Structures are given as structure tokens and as C-alpha cells.
Structure 1
Amino acid sequence: MKINRGLKITLLLLAIAWLLKIIEWSLEVNLYHLGIYPRNRLGFFGIFFSPFIHGGLKHIISNSFSFCILCFSLYLFIPKIASKVLIQLTLISGCMVWFFARPSFHIGASGVIYGIASFLFFLGIFQKNPGSLIISLCIAVLYQGMLTGLIPNEQGVSWESHLSGSIAGLVLAYYYKNIETEFSQKKEIKIEDDFSFEGYRNIENKAFIYKYSDNNKRVKE
């Protein structure tokens, strides 16, 4: 059920992004103006639309693969709060871009992608259990190249979105550090320690009850 739900949500979000890109190609329009434009009232609404708007084919393909893997992993390992974290990452990183980024249209899901990667990585660090640390190690190995995206090193790339997403992921990972993940769930094992008289286990139940007679002999009822 968890896998099915996570896969459905991930594919649905990707489908919206691809549908908008197909509309752009079909109608020969450009929807970049729906992105985030910092410190502009209309540009503020781009916080909600920008993750679905992409520049070109290369942009949307690269983001699709990364988003698919990371979003599905989020729902797989932390199903209880996955949707909440996804929304919070989008809003927090988007607001940071709106407040602090360069005056230009910022589009694409890369801010959310960096946010999920950062969240999963730091959650494992903060929780310190073996399972969560394995996730952190996998993220570090698979997405180490993302570190270069945190600084301005390529024309036309919103490094502000990357940095904002990473910071948002770090903050949320610390906030949710005590949340149960699929690796941190512990099965409760109840151990009965009700012993009577010199270590003999009490085996009384509804069908088998002891009564004490006056001469201290046990009588089965």
C-alpha cells in the first residue's frame, strides 16, 4: 500500500509537469512567467507553480529522474509525513527564493529535489540508527554531484533554489528527527515477569484458575 501510494503521487506530480510542457510545445507558448519572481507580488504565486514549469527538454528530463527517485524514497521510508514534508519543502524553499534570490524568473523542481535529498540525508544523521544512516550514505553517494549546484557556477541555473531547498531540508530533518521511519520502527516484545513462589510461572487464565484451601493445598477449578 505504501509503495502503491508513493508511486501514484510521484507519477501524478511528474505527469502535471510533463502536461504543462506538452501544452507549451503544442501552443508554442512559454510559461516561464508562472515561476517565482523575487520580491514581486505576482511573482509570489510562482511558489506554487514553479516546480511544474521547466525551461527545456533537458531540464525537465533531468529533474524527472531525480524527482522520481527521491520523491518515491520519501514516501517509502517516511510514509506518515511524506506529503506534509513535500508541501513544506516546496513552500519554505519557494519563500526563501522569493525573498533572497536574484530578480529573475526561477522555475523547475530542482529546489524541491535538493530539499528532499537534504531532508533524507540529514534525517539519517540526526536519528543515528543504522537503517537511517544507510539512507544518508546512499544519498551522499548518488547525489554528491549536487553540491556544485549550491554555488553560482553556471549561467541560467537557479543556484538560489538549490541552496534554499537544501536549507529547508536540513531544518525539517532536525524538526522531524524523532519521527518513526520504516527503519526506526521497533516491535514491542512483551515479556511476562509474573512469577510466584520460588520462580514458578503463574499460568492462571480464564479457563484455569487456582484457589487456595485452608490447608494451603491448591485445588483446580
Structure 2
Amino acid sequence: MTDVRTPPGAGARAVTAGALMVGWIALLWLLEGIDVVTDHALDPYGISPRDPAELLDVVPAAFLHGGWGHLASNTVPLLVLGWTAALADVRRFLGVVATIVVVSGLGVWLTAPAGTVTLGASGVVFGLFGHLLVRGFVDRRALDVVVGVLVAGVYGSIIWGVLPTDSGISWQAHLFGLIGGVGAAFLFRRPRRRPYTAVTA
């Protein structure tokens, strides 16, 4: 007996991606609530640069924020860009996000000013932005190129966030997140379909 499985349709993928992103956003808001009621007990899990012990905080720092306003500013772009990126393939999306978190966090750890603590999901936002911009060209998929153009049109102005214009904002997280997202497009590129020869029997 042959087991033939049909890939999930666009509707099912959209629901799965939506559920994933809603759950992620809910987790971020829950963590911020815990941080507030515990008198910011979670803030030390942000990244302090060039301290070897702080390398363990590269991942949790991406899930914590410096207040409700900070979290609110990241929520909508993370939800929109995350859902768009996850729509095609959730497993690939998880690999992309992991790459962005690590590259952004390590970049902050290496280059942020001494005496600072960096936390927030904006590095992931910039990474997803960069990933969506180039994914279509890397995969040679016209639809994803169109998606990238639309993303650039809606969120293109955030690119200025990679410049050191505000000492209270981590341009390092933005810049290295963007680099991580672009790199992840190549790291997790779709395999090319090989030409095949029809054989009759």
C-alpha cells in the first residue's frame, strides 16, 4: 500500500502560522506582566556586553522588553512579519528565527556599549524584515519577490533603525538582526527542483 500525503493547503498554513504568532505575542505580554509585578526581576536576563556569563542571555533577551511601550511598539510588526514569514513553512520559520536571535544577540554582546543591558524583540523584527526582502530572490520564487516588495513598501522606513541615532535604542540589535535574517534566507533556502525524465511502463 502506498501512503500518499497531500501538503496542507494555504488556509491550514495560514491558521497554523497565525496560531504560532498569537501564542508568541501572548508569551511576550505575559513575560512583561511578570516582569512588572516582580519589580523588573527579569530585566537582568538582558544582554550585558562582553561578559562571558551573559552569553546565556542571548536567547531570553529576545523575549523581554523594557516596558509596555517598548513591547507595544514591537507587537504589530512582529505579528505581521512573523505571520508572513511562517506562512510558507513553519519549520523553516523556526530555524530562521533561531538564527536571527543568535546572530542579533551575539552582535549586541560583541559591540554594545559597556554598562548597558539590551533586551527586546526588535532584533527579530529587523531580521524578519531582512529575510522577507531577500527570500524571494534567494529561492527564485516570483510570489515571494512580490511579498518582499510589499514588505519594503510597508515597513521600509524601519531600515533607519540600524543607524546609531539614539543612545537609548540598540541599533546593534537591529543591524545584526537584519544581517541574521538575510543570512538565514541563504541558510534555509528552498532546495531546487531537479529536472526529471518521464518514464512510461
TM-score, length of structure 2 as denominator length:
0.83
Which residue is equivalent to 2:53?
42
State yes or no: 1:72 paired with 2:83: yes
Cα deviation digits, residues 180-220 of structure 1 (max 9, x gap): 8xxxx9xx9x989x7xxxxxxxxxx9xxxxxxxxxxxxxxx
Unaligned runs of 5+ in 1: 195-204, 206-221
Which residue is equivalent to 1:90?
101
Which residue is equivalent to 2:118?
106
Unaligned runs of 5+ in 2: 1-11
More helix by share: 2
How far apart are 1:24 and its partner, in Å?
2.4
Provide runs of 4+ in structure 1 moved above 6 Å: none
Identity among equivalent positions (%) equals 25
More strand by share: 1
Query: SS at the partner of 1:143?
Result: helix
Does the Cα contact within 8 Å between 2:162 and 2:172 map onto a contact in 1? yes
Which residue is equivalent to 2:148?
136
- The one of 114, 124, 131 equivalent to 1:119 is 131
Which residue is equivalent to 1:152?
164
Does the Cα contact within 8 Å between 2:47 and 2:117 map onto a contact in 1? yes
- Amino acid paired to 2:58: I
Which residue is equivalent to 2:182?
170
Cα separation, 1, equivalents of 2:191 and 2:22: 25
Higher relative contact order (CA 8 A, sep 6+): 2
**How many residues matched?**
189
CA RMSD in angstroms, aligned pairs only: 2.5
Which residue is equivalent to 1:218?
none
Larger radius of gyration: 1
Query: SS at the partner of 1:178?
Result: coil
Which residue is equivalent to 1:16?
27
Does the Cα contact within 8 Å between 1:123 and 1:176 map onto a contact in 2? no
